[in-house]
Structure 1
Amino acid sequence: MIRRRNFIVFCTLAIAPAFLIYTVLILYPLVQGLLLSLYDTSSLSADKVFVGLKHYKALLEEDSLVQAFLNDMFLGVWRMVAVMILSFFFAEVLSRMKIREKEFYKVIFFFPNVLSIVVISILWVFIYNPNFGILNEILKMIGLDTLAKPWLSDFDTVLWALIPPSVWATVGFYLIIFIAAIQGIDPSYYEAAKVDGASYFKQLTSITIPLVWNHVKIAVILLVIGNFGSNFSIVNIMTGGGPAGTTEVMQHILYKEAFESHNFGYAAMIGVLMTLIAAVYTLIMNKLFKRESIEY
């Protein structure tokens, strides 16, 4: 009994600091945000009017918020697909193929992660500039003048134009994760597969992917969780939600409601909604990527 009690005390003392930090930085703001969403207030003062689910009912009538949600999903899905494919492809190439300059390429790919998202967004604004942007200049140089256009003010291209900056800023981080995962696989598995006559593709699908599956799952969940924040930063700097609200995302509307309109109750409701969406997506991804651990 004494040993069991000491074990419980030890576990409690070990967990307490992390739980305290989690409570202060995560749980408390979540609860406060949920409570604030039930009030109508134009400031954070004590003058608040309880309105219950008024803001949540208004959600059904707000077409702009629905469109912002769809934009978030559009940007998030394409960003996740592009990042996963590119980072895994380059990780496989740099890990399994004999490339002399592979350490140099690792630095090049990871370099955007060192830059601020503000710097990256401003850089891509210049790239997309219709008058002197490098993208239009390259298209003109190779004889594709008809494809040159104002990328960030054209309704048909503006959402697509926001994907490359986000992918470029992110792919290096996941590249490092996948390189570490692939290099952690015992080379004897590949040697045995070669002896058995397995092709490169067969080795990829039967050895590499199964053994790095948990890393793929973690990468997908991180991309889903970070989707709202990534979209906000790029949209806020590159388009400001324009043209005519075409690129509005949920966190950008939250920002405007809170810090421009000072409608903190409605902004808190959007924050609660985003938290629920992220939680649901995380559960879905856990379910979709759930599989038994594989050992060779």
Structure 2
Amino acid sequence: MSKKKSRQLFGIICVLPATILLAIFMIYPTSQVFYLSLFKMGGFSPVKEFVGFENFQYLINDMKFVQAFQNTILMVVVVTIITMSLSILYAAILSRETIKGQNFFRIIFYIPNILSIVVIAGIFSAIYNPTQGLLNNILNLFNSDMEPILWLGGKHSVNYAIIGALVWQAIGYYMVMYMASMANIPDSLYEAANLDGASKWIQLSQITIPLIWNNIRTTLTFFIISTINLSFLLVQTMTGGGPNGASETVLSYMYGQAYTNSSYGYGMAIGVMIFLFSFILSAIVSFVTKRDVLEY
């Protein structure tokens, strides 16, 4: 066997296990979701009726799905903006500034990321408790006559309460990632900027962010997809989609339709829409954030 063919064979052998796992656990299940979305069936029933695109036609006019989709968009946009902004800001402060107890703050910020999502849901459910919760008690210090706010029971406040938990959970993880990128930026660039009289904000926006942009771009796409998944877990453990569906997300709505209402085919149709939405959103983010790589 020639040296070239032996290299090719070695490459195939190395890639083959990963390819098999990808086909079994990603490609096949995804294709099944598309296939089952064309049927009317229960989650645990072998009987299924082919209905074509009827599930998708119903989906378009389903106002509960529309509300769940709007809630998901709200969470993705708000959580992404706040988390990415604060992560970059905190990373810059802990990387460039001399602060007493820097390592302590790094550990504290990262702790939420190692906690189970169920534990985080329990912590924030206690914080949002209308009578004994920390948040209402702090607000009572400024206005003792204030009526308790139902953070998880109010139609307009529940989504923002969940957003708060999502932001708290994610900041530390992305902060550490950005700190690793910032550590590779030469100090000479900041020294030159200081000599030119550039403020800290200008240094952040003109030096730090452009030089770690590739990392920001990669984590942004990853974060958007993970927010869709984590919002489902928090909603399931904190509100169950309530009150009256006000905090429902597309994943929690899909889960409810497929496994609670025994509308498995309809749930798979929702899954197809989520897949397409995630794919299109990732492509848009990748296109919008594309820029020339800066070298130093």
* 1:251 Cα offset (Å): 0.8
Q: Structure 2: how far apart are the matches of 1:198 and 1:124?
A: 41
Structure 2 spans left out of the alignment, 5+ residues: none
Q: Structure 2: how far apart are the matches of 1:174 and 1:145?
A: 40
* 1:196 Cα offset (Å): 4.0
Q: After superposition, where does 1:95-174 map in structure 2 within 5 Å?
A: 95-143=95-143, 145-146=145-146, 148-174=148-174
Match of 1:261 in 2: 261
8 Å contact kept, 2:88–2:175: yes
Q: After superposition, where does 1:196-211 map in structure 2 within 5 Å?
A: 196-211=196-211
Match of 2:21 in 1: 21
Q: Is residue 76 of structure 2 the alignment partner of residue 76 of structure 1?
A: yes
Q: TM-score when scaled to structure 2? A: 0.95
8 Å contact kept, 1:139–1:145: no
Match of 1:89 in 2: 89
Q: Is residue 231 of structure 2 the alignment partner of residue 250 of structure 1?
A: no
8 Å contact kept, 1:87–1:174: yes
Match of 1:292 in 2: 292
8 Å contact kept, 2:136–2:148: yes
Q: Taking structure 1 as reference, are residues 217 and 136 closer, same or farther at Cα in structure 2, changes over 3 Å only? A: same
Q: Structure 1: how far apart are the matches of 2:80 and 2:188?
A: 32
Match of 1:273 in 2: 273
Match of 2:49 in 1: 49
Q: Taking structure 1 as reference, are residues 212 and 49 closer, same or farther at Cα in structure 2, changes over 3 Å only? A: same
Q: Structure 2: how far apart are the matches of 1:156 and 1:78?
A: 15
Q: Cα RMSD between the aligned structures?
A: 1.7
* 1:122 Cα offset (Å): 1.4
* 1:156 Cα offset (Å): 2.4
8 Å contact kept, 2:131–2:148: no
Match of 2:61 in 1: 61
Structure 1 spans left out of the alignment, 5+ residues: none
Q: Structure 2: how far apart are the matches of 1:50 and 1:294?
A: 54
Which stretch has the larger CA shift, 30-39 or 45-54? Answer: 45-54
Q: Taking structure 1 as reference, are residues 59 and 251 closer, same or farther at Cα in structure 2, changes over 3 Å only? A: same
State the number of aligned residues. Answer: 296
* 1:145 Cα offset (Å): 4.5
Q: TM-score when scaled to structure 1? A: 0.95
Task: Give the letter for the 1:60 counterpart.
Answer: I
* 1:82 Cα offset (Å): 0.9
* 1:227 Cα offset (Å): 2.3
